[in-house]
Structure 1
Amino acid sequence: MSKIQTSFSVKDLNLKNRIVMPPMCQFSVDKEDGVPNDWHFVHYVSRAIGGTGLIIMEMTGVEPDGRITNQDLGLWNDSQIPSYKKIIEEVHKFDCKIGIQIAHAGRKAEDASQPVGPSNIPVEVIPEETKNGVLTPPRSLETKEIKRIILSFKEAAERAIKAGFDTIELHGAHGYLIHQFMSPSINNRTDEFGNLSKFGVEIIKAVKSVMPEGMPLIMRISAIEYIDGGYDLEHSLKIAEEFKTAGVDIFHISTGGEGLPGKRKPLNTPGYQTPFARKFKEHLNLPVIAVGRLENPQIAESVLSNEDADLVAVARGMLNDPYWAMHAIKEIYKEVKPPKQYKRAIR
């Protein structure tokens, strides 16, 4: 049986279908205050109208200097809450659930006067993929600063709950701060946070301590690294075991992002990250979200039907088409129920 339109539940999160809009930075904050504006409202609400089951809002900084750029969203003070609430309330009108990805960019914070990380090891990036073409080398965090950042994650989660989000995702992938701490190539600390899982575990515990019991916690993780000497699947699965014990309910499986690829490079072909999702699903016995070139509805459906993953995240496909979900369901099932305003065109 086809699965993309079937419902799915984790704890108290009940989704009408298996389609996820994953976090995608919009770099569209216009006052550098981290507050979502009209662009974000239209961007997210249109995907809810388009039939998406779960939207995960883009990477949102727990501190001002924890953002990739000053044009990114933030959730570090209570005055930011009302703008998120406005988006959430509208998204909910279309039977769509919405979460938020909270994060700290660490050494990849482009606009921070002094980026920080577990160590002072700089990141090598493709110049055209950064705003200024170069990144300032990071400063190694002091232990007391690390504990303050953990508290910032907890406080951001509290604000997310006040705003009305249905779930929270922690960004532990793509070379940002949680990923940096779990990477042997980046974390060379000799204090307690030299334990490669500890920073992530402490954040998970802090966030879970303020989340309602029925709200699931999602963790996005890079299954492998592409830099020479980077970690492999065995390492990420071992770390994920500890994250599961700490309280993660769903894993969102990506790869890479820690720096310039070495000999091992991402395939970037349809479904190229799906085998990693399946490994996580089998090893941890938890729900997983697959992501990575799944914009072809037939491929997305095959991932679900083959039980490689429980949910499929479609990124660029949804940037290209706000109504991707409806169009995909129509292709797979030969019928769809669009909003009444669009029945003349989508049926």
Structure 2
Amino acid sequence: MLNACKADCGSQRNRTSRRDRRIAVTVVEPAFRAGTAQGTTAAPEVAALFEPFTVNGLMLPNRIAMAPMTRYMSPGGVPDAAVAGYYARRAEGGTGLIITEGTLVGDPACVAPAGVPRIHGEDALAGWAGVVDAVHAAGGTIVPQLWHVGIYREPGFVPEPPLTAVGPSGLDLAGEPFTEPMTDAQLAVAVDAYVRAAVDAQRIGFDGVELHAAHGFLIDQFLWPATNRRTDAYGGPPAARARFGAEVVAAIRRATGPDFPIILRFSQWKVTDFQARIAQDPDELADLLAPLTAAGVDAYHVSTRRFWLPAFDGSRLSLPAWTRRVTGRPVIAVGSVGLADSDFQEAFEGAATRPASLERAVAAVEAGEFDLLAVGRAVLSDPYWAAKIRDGRTDELRPFDPASLETLT
């Protein structure tokens, strides 16, 4: 199930304040960046997706992002040259922003299957520095997704047996008692793990960070009433349920400074419950996101099964569109973007797929309903998906093939 949830111009900030950069990145004119040949103009029908965009000073050459997708291919949790090549090819292929697969923060209670990368320990950080350098050399921008699974557990998680799980109320994703509620000390350990990961990401040259606050993992376990039944300041109304996430964001902002982009990914659905909801209406959504925005979130990455579906009764607006409306922050939309005939879960289970039309996505960007589009399975199967879309070579697009999950092509 983990695979089901992971899955402004120029691509480099060109700021002299970036610390401990492993290699110098050659400054290239924007027209050459992210796989875009000099003088290339996007096909008119997708031109809106290939306009530049800026998130807190981070200049992106276009509106296409690579969605995070767990690959289980980092031996010992350390991304190697194969991982670096995998991400660099997507940057070469025209993807404006790379969001890495989930990377485990350094809380001992945060565990996952073997092969999932971590973002703590000098060996893993050196591996990620190689990834960053490869993506930058290819003209791309890249942020790591910082991930704490919280109380979520599956067979095969390492270490085995897993250390004690942590969650807001000690409830599993079915709402059943699993362990004791998180203590103040455990909350502090988790916040510190996120902060150390963000500081290290900044140090080795990442262009920002994304917090995984979706799909039933730790921050989302606080947002979701089914797993957060606390009666203290972290539970109850939406704003209180957002407090833990807001504390993480605020602590990262203090540690990394005002100009380091922080993206937050959230969802209604969970890996165990596609019908779950953290907000029942736009007012609840506004209340839930307000503390996170105030704490320093620069952009929201809104994960839905189908990005175009209405979020709430009585309105045609999608969850990304409502998020843009109630926060005023840039929004990345994701959910079955590149798949026709099926959604992402059906595709993972082997359903035949073909490339989807991007008319709805283009219309939504042109209407200001959201700002960027994250693509998962289509980019996984075809590293040059973005360039082919840009150049009108849709007849060359590769359909998603579940076999691509087994390789780092």
**TM-score normalised according to structure 2 size:** 0.70
CA deviations over 1:153-186 (Å, ceiling 9, x no partner): 1111111011100011111111000000111111
The CA deviation string for residues 190-220 of structure 1, in whole angstroms up to 9 with x for no partner, is 3333331211111001111122422221011
**Equivalent position of 1:10 in the other structure:** 55
Give the Cα–Cα distance (whole angstroms) in 2 for the partners of residues 68 and 19 of structure 1.
29
- Whether the 8 Å contact between 1:223 and 1:232 is mirrored in structure 2 is no
Per-residue CA distance 1:261-307 (angstroms, 9 max, x = gap):
xxxxxxx4573477111111112111100101111352432332232
2:223 to 161, 172, 182: 182
Segment drifting more, 89-98 vs 62-71: 62-71
With over 3 angstroms needed to count, the CA separation of the structure-2 counterparts of 1:28 and 1:236, relative to structure 1, is farther
Partner residue of 1:87? Answer: 131
Matched, 1:307 2:368: yes
Question: Compared with structure 1, are the counterparts of its residues 124 and 40 closer, same or farther at alpha carbon in structure 2 (3 Å cutoff)?
Answer: farther
Q: Identify if the C-alpha distance between structure 1 residues 119 and 18 changes in structure 2 by more than 3 Å, giving closer, same or farther.
A: same
Q: How big is each residue's C-alpha offset from its partner over 1:111-140, in whole Å with a ceiling of 9 and x where there is no partner? A: 234322112222249xxxxxxxxx994443
Q: Write the letter of the residue equivalent to 1:180.
A: Q
| Structure 2 unaligned regions, length at least 5 | 1-43, 311-316, 339-355, 396-409
Paired residue total: 311
Residue pairs, 1:1-347, within 5 angstroms: 2-31=47-76, 34-63=77-106, 64-110=108-154, 111=157, 112-124=162-174, 137-194=178-235, 195-223=240-268, 226-227=274-275, 231-234=279-282, 235-255=284-304, 268-269=305-306, 271-272=308-309, 275-295=318-338, 296=356, 298-299=358-359, 300-331=361-392
Q: 1:72 to 1:236 in 2, by over 3 A?
A: farther
* Farther-moved stretch of structure 1 (36-45 vs 316-325): 36-45
Q: 1:83 to 1:293 in 2, by over 3 A?
A: same
Query: How far apart in 1 are the matches of 2:394 and 2:367?
Result: 17
Q: Distance in 2 between matches of 1:147 and 1:102?
A: 16
Distance change >3 Å, CA 44–CA 65, structure 1 → 2: farther
Q: Deviations over 1:208-263 (max 9, x none)?
A: 112242222101111467456764243333111110011101011114xxxxxxxx
CA distance in 1, matches of 2:244, 2:261: 20
Question: In the TM superposition, what is the alpha-carbon distance from 1:6 to its structure 2 partner?
Answer: 0.9
Contact map agreement 1:21 1:313 (CA 8 A) in 2: yes
Q: Is the 8 A contact 1:223 1:236 kept in 2?
A: no
Q: Answer whether contact 1:60 1:101 (CA < 8 A) is retained.
A: yes
1:69-91 Cα deviation digits (max 9, x unpaired) = 23211112234221111111111
For residue 101 of structure 1, what is the amino acid of its counterpart?
Q
Task: Name the SS for the 1:253 alignment partner.
Answer: strand
Aligned 8 A contact 1:60 1:74 in 2: yes
Given that 2:269 and 2:276 are in contact with CA atoms closer than 8 Å, whether structure 1 keeps it comes out as no
* Superposition deviation, residue 9 in structure 1: 0.8
> 2:58–2:207: 8 Å Cα contact kept in structure 1?
yes
Q: 1:237 to 1:40 in 2, by over 3 A?
A: farther
- Separation of aligned partners in 2, 1:66 and 1:297: 39
1:66 is paired with a residue whose SS is coil
Residues 65, 109 of structure 1: 8 Å contact kept = no
Identity of aligned residues (%): 30
Contact 1:105 1:176 in 2 (8 A): yes
CA contact (8 A) 1:61 1:104 kept: yes
Give, as a single letter, the amino acid of the residue that structure 1 aligns with 2:225. Answer: P
- Look up the match of 1:260: none
- Alpha-carbon distance between aligned partners in 1 of 2:243 and 2:88, rounded to the nearest angstrom: 37
Distance 1:207 1:22 in 2: 22
- Range 212-221 or range 60-69, more displaced: 60-69
Q: Given the two structures, how large is their TM-score scaled by the length of structure 1? A: 0.82
User: Once the 2 structures are TM-superposed, how far is the Cα of residue 11 of structure 1 from its aligned partner?
Assistant: 2.1
Gaps of 5+ in 1: 126-134, 256-267, 335-347
Secondary structure class of the residue paired with 1:118: coil
